[in-house]
Chain A
């Protein structure tokens, strides 16, 4: 039988306190859009549900000198409607626009999206391409986890059981400001991605200075397309180059067959989406 208890927390300090006390039994609940299905399907049980939905102090989007800071309780709706995000992390905004539907976007949070660590998490792909940093806090202190080290597997992250995500940092740079996101789903709304791609390129005198490419739904975690990136940097940014290098993405991914599509198909469209995202980001 289902066995849960519930604690409401009013501020961050409270939250850390309860996490410290409950340890493995902790289950933070923000928008609850992942937690509720998990409860229903009995994927989790014997947990203390710690309600952080009301922690307004963790719902913010701030612009700093060299980065932007996003609070974990920021909803997908907030991301979609933020001028800061639009300016410095357009990939994240586009991901928010393709996320579920407007009603779900009112509840779902960015913190919940990455902490849940689904390979298909729509904000994870852009955050990975944007070289974001996840700031995690517990009673014993604060640590910064580069997003590349954050996702460990399906529903597995580098977070300790008593840690709370308190900030997600996104560096301000040209590649990030040029970034974009493309999702392929089986429907035009309310669709889990078959493949998603985020890309940001920075050009200097026609040549690729930086190229960041990430993909979702093609491996147990969102992944960076390292081979593609390496093949781009330093080269003249032409449609020909993009078309050639996009194909290399199959080296970087290990998609599986599931109800939505086969691994083979995912490989094919991953290359197509990488090509399109690069062109869009580099404006060719």
Chain B
């Protein structure tokens, strides 16, 4: 029951807080005001809470907040301020009409970034696989794939 003290660098800022041992990273991030990390299911099934944790993309709802002690987390909003690839993706999402309700968008952009960073090519099928853990109920995925494809193409030039 007793709380533990953790320090996590989120979007470049060190944050120190007391958390319950069983708290998930999603709730921790939201409790610290990182509201762009969305809660859609808390079971790892929807991908709206995807963030970059110690360099790789994870679903923050199925990550223990305490596991992030001493680690770094980047969210879509934070990356948008410093990371060129993320900025390109955000722009492509806006221009391709890939955003409807926008609830999946932050997680979707992180998944797209993870794909391109691992050397992902402009290939529709591969892009679909890369975002297959990020549900979207509005767009039918087509315009999301279009946007990631566009950026993958820009990056592979």
A and B touch in the complex (CB under 8 A): yes
Residues of A within 8 A of B111 (CB): 102-103
Closest 7 CB pairs of A and B: A101-B133, A189-B132, A6-B21, A36-B62, A4-B21, A4-B22, A106-B56
Decide yes or no whether B74 CB sits under 8 A from chain A.
Answer: no
Decide yes or no whether B116 CB sits under 8 A from chain A.
Answer: no
Residues of A within 8 A of B64 (CB): 6, 29, 32, 35-36, 49, 51
Decide yes or no whether A37 CB sits under 8 A from chain B.
Answer: yes
Q: Which of B47, B50, B62, B114 has the most CB of A within 10 A?
A: B62
Shortest distance from the beta carbon of A186 to any chain B beta carbon, whole Å: 13
Residues of B within 8 A of A3 (CB): 1
Decide yes or no whether A261 CB sits under 8 A from chain B.
Answer: no
Residues of B within 8 A of A29 (CB): 64, 67
Q: A37-B43, A49-B21, A49-B22 are in contact. Are A188 and B132 (CB under 8 A)?
A: yes
Residues of B within 8 A of A103 (CB): 47, 50, 57-59, 111, 114, 133-134
Decide yes or no whether A8 CB sits under 8 A from chain B.
Answer: yes
Q: A36-B64, A40-B42 are in contact. Are A6 and B4 (CB under 8 A)?
A: yes
Using a CB–CB cutoff of 8 Å, the interface residues on chain B facing chain A are 1-2, 4, 20-22, 24, 42-45, 47, 50, 56-59, 61-64, 66-67, 69, 111, 114-115, 129-130, 132-134
Q: A2-B20, A49-B66, A104-B59 are in contact. Are A36 and B129 (CB under 8 A)?
A: no
Decide yes or no whether A204 CB sits under 8 A from chain B.
Answer: no
10 contacts between A and B (CB under 8 A): A3-B1, A33-B44, A36-B62, A100-B44, A101-B133, A102-B57, A102-B132, A103-B133, A107-B62, A189-B132
Beta-carbon nearest neighbor of B26 in chain A: A36
CA gap between A107 and B53 in the complex, in Å: 10
CA gap between A53 and B24 in the complex, in Å: 15
Beta-carbon nearest neighbor of B120 in chain A: A102
Decide yes or no whether A190 CB sits under 8 A from chain B.
Answer: yes
Decide yes or no whether A5 CB sits under 8 A from chain B.
Answer: yes
CA gap between A40 and B43 in the complex, in Å: 8
Quick check: B114 and A190 within 8 Å, CB to CB? no
Encode contact with B along A6-43: 1 for CB under 8 Å, 0 otherwise.
Answer: 10100000000000000000000100110111011000
Beta-carbon nearest neighbor of A41 in chain B: B43
CA gap between A63 and B84 in the complex, in Å: 39
Quick check: B133 and A190 within 8 Å, CB to CB? yes
CA gap between A194 and B42 in the complex, in Å: 23
Shortest distance from the beta carbon of A164 to any chain B beta carbon, whole Å: 17
Beta-carbon nearest neighbor of B62 in chain A: A36
CA gap between A214 and B4 in the complex, in Å: 44
Residues of B within 8 A of A107 (CB): 58-59, 62-63
**Using a CB-CB cutoff of 8 Å, which residues 78-113 of chain A contact chain B?**
100-104, 106-107
Q: A3-B1, A190-B45 are in contact. Are A102 and B67 (CB under 8 A)?
A: no
